[in-house]
C-alpha cells in the first residue's frame, strides 16, 4: 500500500479515501465500514444514526449566518464491487486495497479500487469534519448494499432526513451533471443437470477465456467489449458440434453488474480428436481476437490439458444451455431517441456457473423506460423457460425521471460556470443511481448527481483521475456555499 496518496490535494478528501481503502467493504459485508462511519460521526460530536437496514446518517448544523438555507443531503454508498484478477491473491473481506499513484490516476494492484463510491463518501466526510466551510444544514446519507441490490436505499424510512436537496456523489465524469438514470431488474435462470460418467478414451482440458476488460454493465455496455460468457458459449457449442466435446463444469463471471471478463470450463474430448481440438481452439481464438481487436484487444482463449473430471453434464442439459445462452440477448438493445448518445435499454449476461447438479445464470437489464426493462426481462425469461430452466425476475428498481427545470440544476450550472468558466454538461446516465428509489420515499427532494472522473469501475482496471478530485471538491464546497434559501 502506497501512502503517497495522502500527499494529494485536497488532502482532507484523500485522507478519508485512504482510510476507506484500509477497511474491507464488499457489498453485504459492510459491518466494519459501518462501524467506522458511525464512530467518525460520533467523534465529531454530530448526530449520528444507523437505521434499521444499516444505512449511516450524520447530521451537521448550518454554519453561522446560513441557517436560512435549504438543507442539503450528501449521498453516497459505503460498499464497493469486489472484483480482482484471477492471479491476484486478495480477500475482500479481510485485506485492504493496495492503492497507488499511476501518473495522473490513482488505481489499485489487481483489484477494484473502490473509488466507486469511496470518493463520494470521502468528500462527504471532509464536509462533515471541516471547520472552515460555509454551508447550510448538511446531512450525509451513506447507504449500504448499493452495488448488489440497492437494499439500503429501498429500505430507507421516510421522515429520518430533514433536507430538501439531494446531491448524489456517485457519478463518474467531472464537468457533468446527471439528472436521470436507468432503472434495473435482475433475471436469473437455473438448469438442473444429471452428472454422467466420463466416456472411455477421453482427454480433459481446462478452457480459459480471459484478458477482457470487463467493466460496468451500464456505463461500459456501449463500448463493444467482449462478454466472456457469450464467447465461451460459442466456443463450447462449436466444439460440441465438431468434436462431440462434453462439458464437465463452467464458471464464468462473478458479479451481476459487471461485464464478465473471464470464463473457465472443464471439458473432455475423444483422445484421437485432441490434436484437432487444440488446433480448433487456436483458430477460434484468432477469429475472436479479430472480432474484438479494437474494443477488447487483450482476449486470449487457452486449452490446457487437465485431470479427468468425475463426470460430465448430461447431453440434453448441455445442449439446452448452449441454445439458451446463444439466444439470450446481451449488450445494447436500444439507444435513446430523446437523449442523444445515451443507451436506453441494455442487458448483460453476467454469470454462468455450474455446481452440485445446478447451472445458475444471472443477468441484469437496464432501461430509461421501465416498461421496456420489464419487457426485456420477460423476453429473457421466455428464452430460458423454453430451454427447460427455472427462471425469475427480482430486485426491480425504478429509473430516475429527468427534471430539466430542477432548481438545484439551475443553481449548480451557474456555480460551475462562475467557478470554472464553462457550463457543465447535463446528462442522463445508463446506470443505477439510487436517486430514483430515494425520490420515491422523499418525493419533495430536488435531486442531482455529480462526481470526479472514474474509469473502468467494477473492474480491476478501475482508476480515478487526480486532478478531477480537486475540481470535484471545489465544486462541492462552492455549491454548499450558494445553497438556496428556504422559501
User: Which residues are identified as catalytic?
Assistant: 79, 146
119 sits in which H/E element? helix 115-129
Cell of 292: 474484438
Cis peptide before 10 (omega within 30 of 0): yes
Tell me the C-alpha to C-alpha distance, in Å, between residue 121 and each of 162, 315, 438. Answer: 19, 50, 17
Q: Going by DSSP bridges, is the β-strand pair 176-181/425-429 parallel, antiparallel, or unpaired?
A: parallel
Cell of 185: 431488474
Contact yes or no for 229/263 (Cβ under 8 A): yes
Contacts of 200 (CB under 8 A, 6+ apart): none
| DSSP 8-state secondary structure symbol assigned to residue 200 | T
CA dist 14 and 281 (Å) reads 47
Place of cell 477497511: 23
Place of cell 493496495: 98
Tell me the C-alpha to C-alpha distance, in Å, between residue 6 and each of 3, 15, 241, 461, 477. Answer: 6, 6, 57, 21, 20
CA dist 353 and 150 (Å) reads 24
Burial grade of 245 (CB within 10 A; 0-12, 13-18, 19 or more): buried
In 398-485, DSSP assigns E strands to 425-429, 446-449, 454-455, 463-465
CA dist 5 and 28 (Å) reads 27
Amino acid at each position: 500500500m502506497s501512502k503517497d496518496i495522502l500527499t494529494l490535494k485536497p488532502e482532507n478528501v484523500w485522507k478519508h479515501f485512504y482510510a476507506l481503502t484500509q477497511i474491507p467493504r464488499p457489498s453485504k459485508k459492510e459491518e466494519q465500514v459501518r462501524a467506522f462511519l458511525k464512530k467518525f460521526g460520533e467523534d465529531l460530536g454530530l448526530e449520528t444514526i444507523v437505521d434499521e437496514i444499516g444505512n449511516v446518517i450524520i447530521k451537521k448544523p448550518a454554519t453561522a449566518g446560513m441557517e436560512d438555507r435549504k438543507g442539503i443531503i450528501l449521498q453516497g454508498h459505503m460498499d464497493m464491487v469486489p472484483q480482482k484478477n484471477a492471479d491476484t491473491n486478495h480477500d475482500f473481506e479481510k485485506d485492504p486495497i493496495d492503492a497507488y499513484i499511476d501518473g495522473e490516476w490513482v488505481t489499485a494492484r489487481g483489484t477494484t479500487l473502490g473509488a466507486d463510491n469511496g470518493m463520494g463518501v470521502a468528500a462527504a466526510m471532509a464536509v462533515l469534519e471541516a471547520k472552515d466551510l460555509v454551508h447550510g444544514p448538511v446531512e450525509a446519507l451513506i447507504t449500504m448494499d448499493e452495488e448488489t441490490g440497492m437494499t439500503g436505499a429501498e429500505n430507507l424510512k421516510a421522515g429520518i432526513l430533514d433536507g430538501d436537496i439531494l446531491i448524489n456523489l456517485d457519478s463518474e465524469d467531472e464537468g457533468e451533471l446527471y439528472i436521470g438514470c436507468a432503472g434495473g431488474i435482475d433475471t436469473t435462470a437455473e438448469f438442473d443437470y444429471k452428472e454422467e460418467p466420463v466416456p472411455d478414451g477421453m482427454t480433459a482440458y481446462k478452457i480459459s477465456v480471459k484478458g477482457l476488460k470487463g467493466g460496468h454493465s451500464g456505463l461500459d455496455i456501449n463500448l463493444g467489449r467482449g462478454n466472456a460468457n457469450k464467447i465461451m458459449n460459442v466456443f463450447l457449442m462449436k466444439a460440441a458440434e465438431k468434436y462431440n466435446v462434453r462439458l464437465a463444469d463452467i464458471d464464468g463471471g462473478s458479479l451481476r453488474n459487471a461485464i464478465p471478463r473471464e470464463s473457465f470450463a472443464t471439458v473432455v474430448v475423444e483422445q484421437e480428436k485432441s490434436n484437432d481440438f487444440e488446433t480448433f481452439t487456436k483458430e477460434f481464438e484468432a477469429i475472436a481476437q479479430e472480432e474484438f481487436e479494437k474494443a477488447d484487444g487483450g482476449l486470449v482463449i487457452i486449452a490446457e490439458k487437465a485431470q479427468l473430471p468425475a463426470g460430465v453434464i448430461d447431453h440434453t442439459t448441455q445442449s439446452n444451455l448452449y441454445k439458451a445462452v446463444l439466444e439470450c440477448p446481451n449488450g445494447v438493445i436500444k439507444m435513446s431517441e430523446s437523449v442523444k448518445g445515451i443507451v436506453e435499454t441494455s442487458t448483460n449476461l453476467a454469470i454462468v456457473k455450474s455446481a452440485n447438479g445446478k447451472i445458475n445464470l444471472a443477468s441484469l437489464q437496464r432501461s430509461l423506460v421501465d416498461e421496456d426493462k420489464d419487457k426485456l426481462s420477460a423476453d429473457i425469461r421466455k428464452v430460458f423457460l423454453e430451454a427447460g430452466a427455472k427462471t425469475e425476475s427480482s430486485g426491480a428498481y425504478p429509473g430516475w425521471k429527468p427534471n430539466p427545470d430542477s432548481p438545484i440544476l439551475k443553481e449548480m450550472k451557474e456555480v460551475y460556470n462562475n467557478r470554472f468558466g464553462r457550463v457543465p454538461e447535463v446528462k442522463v446516465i445508463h446506470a443505477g443511481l439510487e436517486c430514483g428509489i430515494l425520490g420515491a420515499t422523499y418525493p419533495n427532494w430536488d435531486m442531482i448527481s455529480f462526481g470526479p472522473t472514474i474509469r473502468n469501475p467494477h473492474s480491476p482496471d478501475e482508476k480515478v483521475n487526480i486532478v478531477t478530485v480537486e475540481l470535484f471538491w471545489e465544486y462541492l464546497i462552492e455549491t454548499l456555499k450558494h445553497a438556496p434559501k428556504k422559501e
